[in-house]
Amino acid sequence: MLRQMERSAIVVMAKRGKSIRQIASELGRSPTTISRVLHEPVDRAPAKRHRSSQVDPYREQIAQWLEEELPVVRMLEMARDDPDRPYTGSRSQFGEIVRRIRCDRDRERAAEAVPIRFEGLAGEYLQVDWGEIRRFPFTQQDRTTRYFLCCRLKYSRWSFLRWTTDTRQETLFRGLVACFSVLGFVPWVLIFDNMKTVTSGRDVTNQPLWTPALLQLAAEFGFHPQACDPGAGNQKGSVESLVKWVKGNFLPGRSFTDDDDLAQQAAAWTQMAHERPCSATGVPPSDRLDEERRAGGRLPVTAADYGLLLPGQVAADATVAVLGNRYSVPVAHVRALVTVRLHASRIRIWRDALLLADHERAPDGSRMRIIDPTHFAPLFDRKPRAQAMLYREVLLTLPEPAPSFLAALSHRQRDRLVPELLAVFTLYEQHGVERLLAAMKQALLAGTAQAAALALLLAPIPDPAALIPLPLPGLPTQAEVDRSLASYETWVLVDEAQEVPA
């Protein structure tokens, strides 16, 4: 094998005009060797000699063991216990080969994982992520966790921050709609960190399986959802940097008295961040926001009161289960598949384009039955008692003293329960909640629980000025009874004159 200096000498001698035979004679090499060197690069590295090792038969198996993250000690044990070709070499030699294979694998992965940074267009990307703080001083007693939803536009670095007590799907979607409303437009793409409220996993082609509610939200607001690739740490880190930014810049050195104080300080801090130059762009985010607003998508009118989409089915009792409560629909739609719109204060149930029911939303998980008696009207002719019980169920949802009055009525008027309940419900529809509750309170104080008593208390008090006098036969008129004062004075003067002596 020729060394590097000999190769250089051969090239120099050839440049000075010496022939191949002369160079071979002077260096003691064959002409064939000299000719081959002149046709090769001067700095060609010598070929490495591959020395066989007892570990060579296990190289592919070692690579697989490394993917399974097995320790070297366990690899060596499995290699020694191989029934076909047990390893008999030293432990140090085996460990050295494992180290080389691991280094080669990490080097290849590092080359493949080189991040490619890019900037978004105006109105293009909105990054979304959750953060959590397990303890605040004002939450020490109830030991509840506080979460924050953080959204950031990639082009302008404008940020949205909202503190919550949970990370439910509805909380996320209402936070996104609130962010759109503050912006006044909808970004083209929303980037999520594979959270379970938006995706249930990946398909065989490694594409996200989006939840139906998110797809409905994206269709109605006109954005495209995008999830970080599980193997792309730079994408995940870019989204997670939002959480680090809040924890590292907003929370240190601040104290909060309650949730309202936390929200107010967070709003003031984000506003300050929008007014100062961003370290990435050198421009305050608020200066770029108008450009983003011009390029962003149109904000739909449903943003003012967005209804989260939930699938449902009408049960045999003509109710639909929604978040731990049951809401009634017309009996003609029993067993039908329906769509539930979950608004902030209302529950609306649809069948295709037909609105079946519109209820006031009850507290989630309270196991309440919210009934509209008109939904069961077709059954009332055959089931009058069921009608009365439904009316009583509606009245029992009213505050006190309605439950106490209905309990007393159900106990004392058992023989006339159905007409009594129907009459009370009629008064409820005629006079409203406030007047009915006031009448119930007066009736209970008087010791009575009857619909007739409520009717008397709710009856309008007649105006005395509007009363018409009743004519009574055989009696003098009121004008004859009410004589004028002048006639009385005349009578007194005449009487006094008769008593005075002449």
pLDDT in tens, 157-193: 999 999 999 999 999 999 999 999 999 999 999 999 8
- The whole-number pLDDT of residue 262 equals 93
Q: Which helix (H) or strand (E) holds 209?
A: strand 208-210
Compute the distance between CA of residue 193 and CA of residue 244 in angstroms, rounded to an integer: 14
Cβ(272)–Cβ(264) below 8 Å: no
Q: How many CB atoms lie within 10 A of CB 253?
A: 5
What mean pLDDT is reported for the chain?
86
Q: Whole-model pTM above 0.95?
A: no
Distance CA(231)–CA(497), nearest Å, equals 127
Q: b/e string for 482-495 if b means 16 or more Cβ within 10 A?
A: eeeeeeeeeeeeee
Q: What is the DSSP code (8-state) at residue 120?
A: P
The Cα 286–Cα 288 span in angstroms is: 5
One-letter amino acid of 318: A
Burial-class residue 310 by CB neighbours within 10 Å (0-12, 13-18, 19+): buried
Query: Using CA of residue 25, residue 29, residue 32, residue 36, what is the dihedral sign?
Result: negative
The CA distance from 27 to 6, in Å, is 8
Residue 326: predicted pLDDT? 95
Give all strands of the β-sheet with 325-328 in edge-to-edge order.
Answer: 319-322, 325-328, 369-370
Higher pLDDT, 483 or 289: 289
Q: Is the pLDDT of residue 232 over 60?
A: no
Residue of 331, 394, 401, 330 whose CA lies nearest to 360: 394
Alpha-carbon distances, residue 312 vs 199, 302, 309, 322, 330 (angstroms): 20, 21, 10, 8, 15
Write down the H helix ranges in 229-303.
233-249, 259-275, 285-295
Q: Is it the case that residue 263 has pLDDT exceeding 80?
A: yes
Give me the pLDDT at residue 202, please. Answer: 86
Tokens of 164: 């919550």
Q: Which helix (H) or strand (E) holds 395?
A: helix 384-395
The mean pLDDT value for 245-271 works out to: 91
